């Protein structure tokens, strides 16, 4: 029963996603331009010898689109508030946690689709996919592809959770810009998406290591181009923990919110 | 068992008491109206009864279920049409209804059958497969009413169902509400600030102001409270008040924006009397009129003011206007 209710909510998110094409293209824009223009920079980084800087950068940009898309999906709860649809959901005999999970499932799915679109788009710009080993093997490629989907889903859960948390506490869109520029961008820039973390001073590195996206980007790099700073299992475990925490916080804050 | 029962139901927001010790008993199958100006507490009351807000104190039950302890049971037996739009405009009419039906756990065949039924009830069968952004305001409202009925609720809440709609559409919606109350055997709890609406539709009406119920009866009995006739007078002098107070046949008297309203019996005979007396006291009467009492007079008698748009905070107001415009488009 609760599962089919969650499915109903997921289905709605999917329909909206495919009908709001301009929003989808809008979200893709920035990561795509980062990828194309930063990817041209003549930067040589250790570990990116195989495919050049673009192969270091592309997993970071996939992390970026996942961050933006899933955070956006969580915060589109505010749209439902603004346009009244949330009330329709809230008077139905549905558990509050089911509402959050349905919304999250929808957000993660749409974020995953966007992540895969960026992955494919990065190929003509020189991304060399090798899989979980630095040298290409069929098995490594296959495992790496599966692992990267796992990482994308976990990044999705973490940041949809964060988005839902913020949206539950906000009345309208007034704080949106603030969150985007002062929370989302630092999360992105401090994740090692653009360059390795060791360029940062020590204290900032600590900050980076409590940033879930750091593990997401590292995990994506490990599974797509075979180079990672931490073992993939560490990345995986860190993201499982951050997902669980963020979804719980989101569900808790959402349950406590009164609709008006 | 009553359809709705409340005892001293109260909701306050900080110092503001939005709903103040409301006691109600609504019968099964009744078409009950709650009439009052914006900000009187109607929506807050509806939100408490539909489990969206928790009461500050007091007790309420819907179809025998306590609204704080048995939220899911309450939700299962109510349908709600909110004051502001609450549809997904990227979904088609049918998809909006289907979403609703799934949320209430309806099986596929039942869903399809019921969607066809409610669409027919509100004459939207032909528009079922276009997205709601292409609906007019009246169509959207009708779809929301149909949606509220999808899961065969025992009680349907209608919060200002005709707000911002033109006269013709309003008439249509009134007829739908009457029909469904009869055909679907659903108890209707209507919140409105249009007195004609309450008068036309409801078997009983509660008049609410500043969170309190100030009168509750059938429209006929309420109007009888006012007296046989109402005389409205506009004059150039305040002395008219003193003058009128001398007449023993004036049952009640209120003043609003320089217009005096009197409740009298046999108004036709009193009009000349007033004019003569005013003339004798050198007061010029600019206008005088006589009408049968309506619910507006009832409200006026009890509160000394008219039911009209009260100034809310500016943002809410703008939001409402924008929404009304969006509907009209």
Domain ranges of chain A: 2-256
B14 CB near a chain A CB, below 8 Å?
no
From the list A11, A16, A84, which residue is nearest B86 (CB)? A84
What are the phi and psi torsion angles at B112 (to 5°)? -65, -40
Calpha distance A221→A194 (Å, rounded): 12
- Positive or negative, the Cα torsion across B108, B112, B118, B119? positive
CATH annotation of B4-222: 3.40.50.300
CATH annotation of B228-292: 3.30.70.260
State residue B169's pLDDT score: 82
Do A57 and A38 contact (CB within 8 A), yes or no?
A: yes
Q: Percent of chain A beyond pLDDT 90?
A: 67
List the domain boundaries for chain B. 4-222, 228-292
Minimum distance, in Å, between the CA of residue A97 and any CA atom of chain B = 14
Question: What are the angstrom distances between the C-alpha of A150 and each of A45, A57, A123, A146, A237?
Answer: 26, 19, 20, 6, 12
pLDDT digits (tens, 9 = 90+) for A91-136: 999 999 999 999 999 999 999 999 999 999 999 988 889 888 888 8
The token pair at B96 is 């909006």
Do A226 and A79 contact (CB within 8 A), yes or no?
A: no
Scan residues 66-125 of B and list those with Cβ closer than 8 Å to A: 72-73, 75-76, 78, 80, 82, 84-91, 95, 99-100, 102-105
State residue A11's pLDDT score: 95
Residue A5: pLDDT band with limits 50, 70, 90: very high
Residue B148 host element (H or E)? helix B137-149
A87 and B52 within 8 Å at the Cβ level: the answer is yes
Average pLDDT for residues A201-228, to the nearest whole number?
94
**Which residue is listed with tokens 């609504």?**
B26
Strands B252-256 and B16-26: unpaired
B52 and A91 within 8 Å at the Cβ level: the answer is yes
pTM: 0.83
A87 and B80 within 8 Å at the Cβ level: the answer is yes
Minimum distance, in Å, between the CA of residue B103 and any CA atom of chain A = 6
Calpha distance A57→B174 (Å, rounded): 62
- Most confident among A20-24, A39-43, B41-45, B120-124 (mean pLDDT): B41-45
B88 and A12 within 8 Å at the Cβ level: the answer is yes
pLDDT digits (tens, 9 = 90+) for A72-99: 999 999 989 888 899 999 999 999 999 9
Average pLDDT for residues A146-163, to the nearest whole number?
97
Minimum distance, in Å, between the CA of residue A127 and any CA atom of chain B = 36
**Which residue is listed with tokens 């995986």?**
A236
> With b meaning 16 or more CB within 10 Å and e meaning fewer, what string describes A58-95?
bbbbbbbbbbbbbbbbbbbbbebbebbbbbbbbbbbbe
The token pair at A86 is 């949330």
Calpha distance B201→B166 (Å, rounded): 17
CA nearest B214: which of B291, B295, B160?
A: B295
B276 CB near a chain A CB, below 8 Å?
no
Residue of B13, B88, B110, B129 best to disrupt the A interface, most CBs of A under 10 A: B88
Instruction: Kindly tell me the burial class for residue B113, based on how many C-beta atoms sit within 10 Å of its own C-beta (0-12, 13-18, 19 or more).
Output: exposed
B286 CB near a chain A CB, below 8 Å?
no
State residue B311's pLDDT score: 42
Scan residues 194-233 of A and list those with Cβ closer than 8 Å to B: none
Q: Reduced to 3 states, what is the DSSP secondary structure of residue B283?
A: coil
Angle at alpha carbon of residue A239, lines to A238 and A240, rounded to 5°: 95
Residue A156 has pLDDT above 90, yes or no: yes
Q: What is the DSSP string of A185-241?
A: HHHHHTTTSSS-GGGS-HHHHHHHHT-HHHHHHHHHHHHHTS--SS-HHHHHHHHHH
Residue A141: CB atoms within 10 Å: 18
Set of chain B residues whose Cβ sits within 8 Å of the Cβ of A255 = none
Query: At a CB cut-off of 8 Å and minimum separation 6, what does A34 contact?
Result: A57, A61, A64
Question: What are the angstrom distances between the C-alpha of B138 and each of A84, A105, B114, B325?
Answer: 17, 34, 21, 12
B103 and A92 within 8 Å at the Cβ level: the answer is yes
Residue of A6, A81, A83, A91 best to disrupt the B interface, most CBs of B under 10 A: A91
CA nearest A117: which of A221, A11, A31, A16?
A: A31
State residue B314's pLDDT score: 47
What are the phi and psi torsion angles at A202 (to 5°)? -50, -50
State residue B113's pLDDT score: 94
Angle at alpha carbon of residue B256, lines to B254 and B260, rounded to 5°: 50
State residue A259's pLDDT score: 65
What are the phi and psi torsion angles at B227 (to 5°)? 115, 180
Q: Reduced to 3 states, what is the DSSP secondary structure of residue B4?
A: strand
CA nearest B250: which of B239, B265, B235?
A: B265
B99 and A8 within 8 Å at the Cβ level: the answer is yes
A18 CB near a chain B CB, below 8 Å?
no
From the list B53, B90, B104, which residue is nearest A16 (CB)? B90
State residue A186's pLDDT score: 94
Minimum distance, in Å, between the CA of residue A76 and any CA atom of chain B = 13
State ipTM.
Answer: 0.88
B105: left (phi over 0), alpha (psi -120 to 50) or beta: left
A84 and B91 within 8 Å at the Cβ level: the answer is no
Set of chain B residues whose Cβ sits within 8 Å of the Cβ of A93 = 72-73, 75-76, 103-105
B217 CB near a chain A CB, below 8 Å?
no
State residue B327's pLDDT score: 53
- A-chain residue closest to B71, CA distance: A93
State residue B310's pLDDT score: 45
Residue A49: pLDDT band with limits 50, 70, 90: low
B88 and A85 within 8 Å at the Cβ level: the answer is yes
Q: What is the pLDDT along chain B (329 residues), one digit of tens a residue?
A: 899 999 999 999 988 999 999 999 999 999 999 999 888 899 999 999 999 999 999 999 999 999 999 999 999 999 999 988 899 999 999 999 999 999 999 999 999 999 999 998 888 999 999 999 999 988 999 999 999 989 989 999 999 998 878 888 888 889 888 988 988 889 999 999 998 899 999 999 999 999 999 999 999 888 888 777 889 898 887 788 888 888 888 888 888 777 888 888 888 888 888 888 888 888 888 889 888 888 888 888 888 777 664 444 444 555 555 555 555 44
Spell out the alpha helix ranges (H) of A40-95. 53-75, 77-82, 85-90
Q: Residues, chain B, total?
A: 329
Minimum distance, in Å, between the CA of residue B213 and any CA atom of chain A = 23
Residue A166 has pLDDT above 90, yes or no: yes
A93 and B102 within 8 Å at the Cβ level: the answer is no
CA nearest A64: which of A95, A98, A100, A34?
A: A34
Query: At a CB cut-off of 8 Å and minimum separation 6, what does B155 contact?
Result: B3, B4, B62, B63, B77, B78, B79, B186, B187, B188, B189
B103 and A89 within 8 Å at the Cβ level: the answer is yes
State residue A208's pLDDT score: 94
């Amino acid at each position: 029963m609760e599962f089919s209710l969650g499915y109903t909510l997921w289905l709605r998110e999917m329909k909206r996603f495919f009908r709001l094409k301009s929003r989808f293209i809008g979200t893709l824009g920035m990561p795509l331009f980062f990828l194309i223009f930063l990817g041209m920079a003549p930067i040589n980084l250790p570990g990116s010898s195989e495919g050049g800087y673009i192969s270091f950068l592309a997993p970071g940009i996939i992390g970026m689109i996942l961050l933006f898309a899933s955070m956006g999906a969580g915060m589109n709860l505010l749209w439902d508030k603004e346009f009244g649809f949330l009330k329709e959901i809230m008077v139905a005999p549905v558990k509050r946690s089911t509402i959050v999970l349905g919304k999250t499932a929808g957000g993660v799915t749409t974020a995953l689709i966007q992540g895969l679109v960026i992955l494919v788009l990065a190929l003509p710009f020189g991304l060399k996919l090798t899989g979980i080993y630095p040298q290409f093997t069929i098995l490594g490629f296959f495992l790496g592809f599966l692992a990267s989907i796992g990482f994308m889903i976990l990044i999705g859960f973490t940041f949809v959770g964060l988005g839902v948390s913020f949206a539950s506490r906000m009345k309208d869109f007034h704080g949106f810009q603030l969150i985007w520029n002062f929370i989302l961008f630092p999360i992105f820039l401090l994740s090692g998406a653009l360059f390795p973390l060791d360029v940062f001073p020590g204290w900032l590195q600590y900050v980076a290591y409590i940033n879930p996206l750091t593990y997401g980007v590292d995990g994506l790099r490990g599974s797509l181009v075979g180079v990672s700073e931490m073992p993939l299992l560490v990345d995986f475990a860190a993201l499982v923990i951050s997902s669980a925490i963020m979804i719980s916080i989101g569900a808790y804050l959402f349950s406590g919110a009164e609709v008006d | 068992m009553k359809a709705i029962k409340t005892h001293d139901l109260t909701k306050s927001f900080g110092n503001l008491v939005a709903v103040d010790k409301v006691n109600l008993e609504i019968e099964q199958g009744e078409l009950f109206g709650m009439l009052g100006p914006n900000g009187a507490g109607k929506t807050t009351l509806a939100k408490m009864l539909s489990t969206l807000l928790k009461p500050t104190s007091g007790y309420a039950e819907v179809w025998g279920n306590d609204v704080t302890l048995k939220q899911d049971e309450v939700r299962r037996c109510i349908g709600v049409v909110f004051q502001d739009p609450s549809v997904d405009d990227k979904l088609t009419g049918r998809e909006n209804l289907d979403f609703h039906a799934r949320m209430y756990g309806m099986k596929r065949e039942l869903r399809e059958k019921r969607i066809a039924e409610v669409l027919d009830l509100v004459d939207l069968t032909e528009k079922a497969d276009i997205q709601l952004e292409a609906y007019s305001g009246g169509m959207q409202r009708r779809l929301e009413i149909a949606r509220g009925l999808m899961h065969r609720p025992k009680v349907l809440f209608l919060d200002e169902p005709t707000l911002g709609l033109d006269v013709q559409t309003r008439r249509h919606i009134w007829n739908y509400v009457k029909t469904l109350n009869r055909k679907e055997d659903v108890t209707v709890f209507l919140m409105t600030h249009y007195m004609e609406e309450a008068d036309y539709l409801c078997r009983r009406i509660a008049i609410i102001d500043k969170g309190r119920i100030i009168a509750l009866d059938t429209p006929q009995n309420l109007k009888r409270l006012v007296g046989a006739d109402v005389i409205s007078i506009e004059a150039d002098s305040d002395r008219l008040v003193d003058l009128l107070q001398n007449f023993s046949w004036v049952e009640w008297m209120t003043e609003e924006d320089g217009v005096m309203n009197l409740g009298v019996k046999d108004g036709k005979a009193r009009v000349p009397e007033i004019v003569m007396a005013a003339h004798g006291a050198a007061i010029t009467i600019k206008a005088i009129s006589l009408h049968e009492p309506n619910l507006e007079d009832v409200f006026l008698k009890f509160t000394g003011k008219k039911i009209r748009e009260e100034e809310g905070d500016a943002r809410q107001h703008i939001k409402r206007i924008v929404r009304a415009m969006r509907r009209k488009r």
